[in-house]
A and B are shown apart, each in its own frame.
Chain A
């Protein structure tokens, strides 16, 4: 058990991207180290928590995984609110998913509450034989939009852990992004304490 005092902070990380690029698979590989080739489509929002240590700093990650399919999306500003990091995923074997990245960036721009939110571009499914998006292209796009970049495969584990670690490292290094986050939706600890002092059960305030 991780002692609560040792946790440096709790970070809110989002995963976005077209449907079928492997957002949920990346998340499950990272949190549970599992992989399901038949992963069903996400409906609405999935949510996972994992503690991660980067360079001696222990952080608790609250990772929000959203539906890629438009019809399963529940578009609420609260989803983006207070997020410190975002993982933008595309499928290297599907050019269309790469072309749609602009649209996702646009949505992120529209809803994110922090201007310096750390973005990471992940080209998933590099285990696939039929590649449609070159590594260089991905890198170029990431540079253009000031994003971190990595290629990964949720199936073979390659790059998954690194992606999350680098993102968290960058968030922690970014001054003012996570300290004294009085307004952020993810100050779970603060809220939790608050609710205790109000004599309310720990869960209701989160809803």
Chain B
């Protein structure tokens, strides 16, 4: 149609000429034609469409019903199948679980069966005393129990029961082993309260069962991990009850007896004394005992367990025993075997050798690990121990000497000096100074200690000092130095110990202070030369001048004088106290006054007499005379001062005074007399108040005329102080004039 319009349009111009009618006609035709065509087309179309539509609709209906059917089927299938599926799955699970359980039960039952068997075997083996087997069974049980516990079965009653059973069995095993051990190793020891008695020590006995059973027991014990404890207590007993006695008592030795069941180790008395046992002998005894024990049960190797790498029992025992034993051997045997003088030092090689052999033997038996040898180390250090012991002994000895009573005395200073010098010369030719002294430049007595008494203990102390130095010069360097300083320490100790320890006696007893004075002087006398005497024989640095005692001389001299001067002061105080009883000699004509004055004088004389008796033989003569005359002088001075201070002396007074003083004049001179020598020590010489005192007596009894005569003669001038005399004369109521 469009084309038709376009034709119309295209030709519109050209068609103008044609008439519209034609044209209209034509168009109407054409429209009619189209109408027809359309109608036919539509009719045709429609006719076709309708049946198709119906069919389609039909089909659609069918499809829908089918879909519905399918959906319902689907739902049905889904519901039914999945439920069935899950059910069967759970069924499957159930089944497999059941299987597992059954398996586990089977397993457990198996285990339980084994356990039961083991338990039965265990008790039978225990009955039959097959401890090793019992022990193996027990470890098997333990293993099984572990399995049981790891499973989920642990809550089962039977497991708990078994666990208890196992524990019981463990304990039973341990108990049985202990029983077996106590039956196999039997100790018989004295009661604790008797343990110090010698006879009861001899009853000590160790019985060890013979046979392989003991080894079985020990193996089992090792597996049960109780062996170490057992061995520890065994070794402690061994040390305490056997070895210690062997070490401490020199007169016992081990005795080994074998019966058909047991080996018996006991102690028996031997012939020797109770002294310290020699190391060689001790080693022999110890080896006998150890060897016996070793042969019985010790040479078995323990099975290697997880943390125990198969060591021998000997090794375990050694570890337990050795520390104690070596300490005891050192402290109670080797210590005493250390020689006390250097001459014995060489023979000590034997002990060292014996010690070495002893330790080697022990190592060979596996008792000792190589390289641990405390005994040998100790023995080899003998020089050090020797010096230490020596010095310690010396100091102890010196101290005990210092603490003994001072009053046991010896005389010294008697030996004639030439002899002593010769002694010095023979021992040491280099003493040139003494040689010069010998060439009569000095008197014989110059270097000699005066004769006096000293305490015996100090004399011994000095001897100890000389002996020690003598030993020092023959000793090794280290030893010599140590010994030298020990001697010095001894003297230092003296300065501290003696004045402190004897303090009270030194103050109270005049004789002791005199003795102490002598003692100190005697020591200082020796200290002067002691260093020189040994200096050149001592090792460096001592020979370079360090070996001297001279520095101690002033200390000792001070010690001597301090003590004695203190005593002198005490005596002076006492005399003054006695004289004060005379109340200044006032009016002695009266009976009471005369009596007290006489008493005072008698007391002083008594005191001086006492001192004379206790000092006479003790002090050196010069010191004695000096001390006595000083005291007499002090007394006289006091009397003279008192009398010359008197204001008024009646004739009777002076008579009485004169008679009182005559007592002194009579009794004083013997006071200066020494018991041992004939030599006379006149009072006029030694007591400077003596002349004055005599002059006083003369003045007291004389008439003024006589005094004047005396004075003009010049006799009294040098003695009485003139003012004093004048005063006294003034106070005298002289008969004439």
Contacts and interface: CB of A to CB of B under 8 A. Distances in A.
Contacts of A75: 574, 606-607, 610
A39 B734 CA distance: 61
B610 A110 contact: no
Interface size class of B (residues with CB under 8 A): 10 to 19
Interface string B591-622: 00000000100110011001001100000000
Nearest to A111: B603
B407 A73 contact: no
B610 A73 contact: yes
A71 B407 CA distance: 8
26 contacts: A43-B505, A43-B509, A44-B505, A44-B508, A70-B511, A70-B613, A70-B614, A71-B511, A72-B407, A72-B509, A72-B511, A73-B509, A73-B610, A74-B508, A74-B509, A75-B607, A75-B610, A77-B574, A77-B578, A77-B603, A107-B606, A110-B599, A110-B603, A110-B606, A111-B603, A111-B606
A77 B599 contact: no
Contact of B574 (A44, A73, A76): A76
A76 B570 CA distance: 10
A71 B514 CA distance: 11
Nearest to B603: A110
Nearest to A40: B405
Interface residues of A, number: 13
B509 to A, nearest CB: 6
A73 B574 CA distance: 14
Interface string B634-671: 00000000000000000000000000000000000000
B197 to A, nearest CB: 28
A75 B578 CA distance: 12
A104 to B, nearest CB: 12
A73 B577 CA distance: 18
Nearest to B599: A110
Contacts of B610: 70, 73, 75
A200 B509 CA distance: 30
A148 B504 CA distance: 35
Nearest to B610: A75
A110 B599 CA distance: 6
Nearest to A112: B599
Contacts of B577: 77
A75 B574 CA distance: 9
Given A71-B614, A72-B407, 20 more contacts: A43-B407, A43-B509, A44-B504, A44-B505, A71-B511, A72-B509, A73-B509, A73-B614, A75-B574, A75-B606, A75-B607, A75-B610, A76-B574, A77-B574, A77-B577, A77-B578, A77-B603, A110-B603, A110-B606, A111-B606
Interface in B555-613: 574, 577-578, 599, 602-603, 606-607, 610, 613
Interface string A71-96: 11111110000000000000000000
Contacts of A73: 509, 610, 614
A71 B509 contact: yes
Interface of A: 43-44, 70-77, 107, 110-111
Contacts of A43: 407, 505, 509
Contacts of A74: 508-510
A42 B613 CA distance: 18
A38 to B, nearest CB: 15
Nearest to B578: A77
A17 B509 CA distance: 18
Nearest to A115: B595
A202 to B, nearest CB: 21
B591 to A, nearest CB: 12
Contacts of B574: 75-77
B190 to A, nearest CB: 35
A74 B610 CA distance: 10
Contacts of B614: 70-71, 73
Contacts of A111: 603, 606
Nearest to B613: A70
Nearest to A75: B610
A188 B436 CA distance: 67
B580 to A, nearest CB: 10
A36 to B, nearest CB: 18
Nearest to A41: B407
A76 B610 CA distance: 11
A147 B350 CA distance: 76
Nearest to B615: A71
A107 B607 CA distance: 10
Nearest to B604: A110
4 shortest interchain CB distances as A-B pairs: A74-B508, A71-B511, A110-B602, A44-B508
B581 to A, nearest CB: 8
A33 to B, nearest CB: 28
Contacts of A44: 504-505, 508-509
A111 B598 CA distance: 11
A185 B603 CA distance: 18
Contacts of A70: 511, 610, 613-614
Nearest to B598: A110
